[in-house]
């Protein structure tokens, strides 16, 4: 334990040195404030004893500067003019206590040991508080990990259930044909069912793969100038058969042909997922409208897919972006479906720093609107 005594009186300095050294403390002395501050900068001290009244720089002025040099040092003022006002000022300037002259060696040691014990308790309390905060953080981390574990478990169960249905149909159909239960004349129909289920299974796997890639670190992913109008046309062409089979009227409204820096696959998937949902949940002879416009003034690109489908209840809108989630009405209208489409859409829009808006009325239809900044580029892409 090191003590620095700063006093312009030689007797006080040496008296403190003898008393403290005999008690096992290491002591250094200085005769004025500047000299004391110099020694404080040069070495490490645990206790600072300072005379309140010294020529040039007062003890209170030195204490104020000493606090900046050594914030944790225990400061004790030595004074021959002990008053309440001086005590208040000393504490304000960073002192922990003060001793009135004349004082005994026993009092000096008592005050120093008391302040050392008080500082030790303070440090211990701070250490305990830090430990409690760390334990609290660990508890929160553990709770989050458990929550993630539950989500992952639910995800796996849902995914297995989703994949199991088409696989079971494929297996049963193949077994029926192989065992001869299906007459040759009916095998074409059964094989068409197999093909449909295989296509459904492939769609699920493709969506899972795309969603996984969207969630991963995409740094280094190749980007290029992409026409959102061309991606709209590509998505529309991929659903040509389904549109014809359901007798839907599809209208395309383009005010502009905006181009952004991005990934072609992702931007086509953005249109395809929204269009696929609109087609799937719009009754035969219904209407789907796709609009694309560029707001040059606000530097925004707006794409909208509107349908006259089943709509979404207001209390379920907040859940439709969950993985594998499908509303009751959607399950009733379409037995098959991955429940991943809107989750993929949200990931892509978020990836490009955009926003997604929904207007929906049950029984009347829905409008999904994505808004991308004109300067959109993949977050983290090279």
231 lies in the same domain as 201:
no
| pLDDT tens digit sequence for 125-140 | 888 888 888 888 888 8
Considering just the CA atoms, what is the radius of gyration of the chain in Å? 39
pLDDT at 338: 67
Domain limit, last residue, from 192, 215, 238: 215
247 lies in the same domain as 302:
yes
- The average pLDDT across 267-281 equals 92
Q: Provide the domain count of the chain.
A: 3
| pLDDT tens digit sequence for 4-63 | 999 888 988 888 888 889 888 899 999 998 998 999 999 889 899 888 888 888 888 888
Residue 108 lies in a domain: no
pLDDT at 378: 43
CATH number at residue 298: 3.30.565.10
208 lies in the same domain as 348:
no
Contacts of 327 (CB under 8 A, 6+ apart): 312, 313, 316, 320
86 lies in the same domain as 171:
no
Residue 144 lies in a domain: no
366 lies in the same domain as 232:
yes
Residue 211 lies in a domain: yes
Number of CB atoms found within 10 A of residue 252's CB? 13
231 lies in the same domain as 352:
yes
The dihedrals phi and psi of 25, each to the nearest 5 degrees, come to -95, 150
Instruction: Domain of residue 171: give its range.
Output: 153-215
Residue 10 lies in a domain: yes
159 lies in the same domain as 45:
no
206 lies in the same domain as 235:
no
Contacts of 229 (CB under 8 A, 6+ apart): 254, 257, 258, 292
Residue 134 lies in a domain: no
CATH number at residue 185: 1.10.287
| pTM attached to this predicted model | 0.54
75 lies in the same domain as 97:
yes
339 lies in the same domain as 228:
yes
Residue 299 lies in a domain: yes
Write down how long the chain is.
382
244 lies in the same domain as 290:
yes
């Amino acid at each position: 334990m090191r003590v620095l005594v700063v006093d312009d009186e030689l007797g006080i300095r040496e008296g403190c040195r003898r008393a403290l050294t005999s008690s096992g403390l290491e002591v250094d002395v200085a005769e004025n404030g500047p000299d004391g501050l110099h020694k404080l900068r040069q070495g490490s001290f645990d206790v600072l004893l300072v005379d309140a009244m010294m020529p040039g720089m007062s003890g209170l002025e030195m204490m104020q500067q000493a606090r900046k040099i050594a914030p944790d040092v225990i400061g004790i003022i030595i004074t021959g003019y002990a008053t309440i006002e001086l005590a208040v000022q000393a504490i304000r300037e960073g002192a922990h206590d003060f001793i009135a002259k004349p004082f005994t060696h026993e009092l000096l040691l008592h005050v120093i040991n008391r302040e050392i014990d008080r500082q030790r308790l303070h440090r211990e309390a701070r250490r305990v508080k830090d430990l409690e905060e760390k334990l609290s953080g660990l508890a929160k981390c553990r709770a989050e990990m458990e929550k993630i574990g539950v989500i992952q478990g639910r995800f796996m169960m849902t995914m297995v259930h989703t994949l199991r249905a088409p696989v079971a149909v494929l297996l049963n159909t193949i077994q029926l044909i192989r065992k001869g239960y299906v007459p040759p004349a009916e095998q074409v129909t059964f094989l068409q069912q197999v093909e449909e289920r295989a296509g459904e299974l492939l769609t699920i796997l493709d969506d899972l793969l795309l969603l996984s890639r969207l969630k991963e670190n995409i740094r280094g992913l190749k980007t290029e100038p992409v026409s959102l109008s061309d991606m709209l046309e590509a998505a529309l062409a991929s659903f040509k058969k389904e549109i014809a089979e359901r007798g839907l009227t599809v209208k395309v409204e383009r005010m502009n042909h905006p181009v952004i820096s991005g990934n072609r696959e992702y931007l086509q998937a953005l249109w395809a997922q929204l269009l696929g949902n609109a087609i799937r949940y719009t009754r035969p002879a219904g209407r789907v409208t796709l609009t694309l416009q560029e707001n040059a003034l606000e530097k925004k690109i707006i794409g909208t897919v509107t349908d006259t489908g089943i709509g979404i209840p207001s209390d379920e809108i907040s859940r439709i972006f969950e993985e594998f989630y499908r509303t009751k009405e959607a399950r009733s209208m379409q037995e098959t479906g991955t429940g991943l489409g809107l989750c993929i859409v949200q990931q892509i829009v978020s990836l490009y720093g955009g926003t997604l808006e929904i207007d929906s009325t049950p029984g009347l239809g829905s409008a999904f609107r994505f808004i991308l900044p004109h300067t959109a580029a993949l977050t983290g892409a090279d």
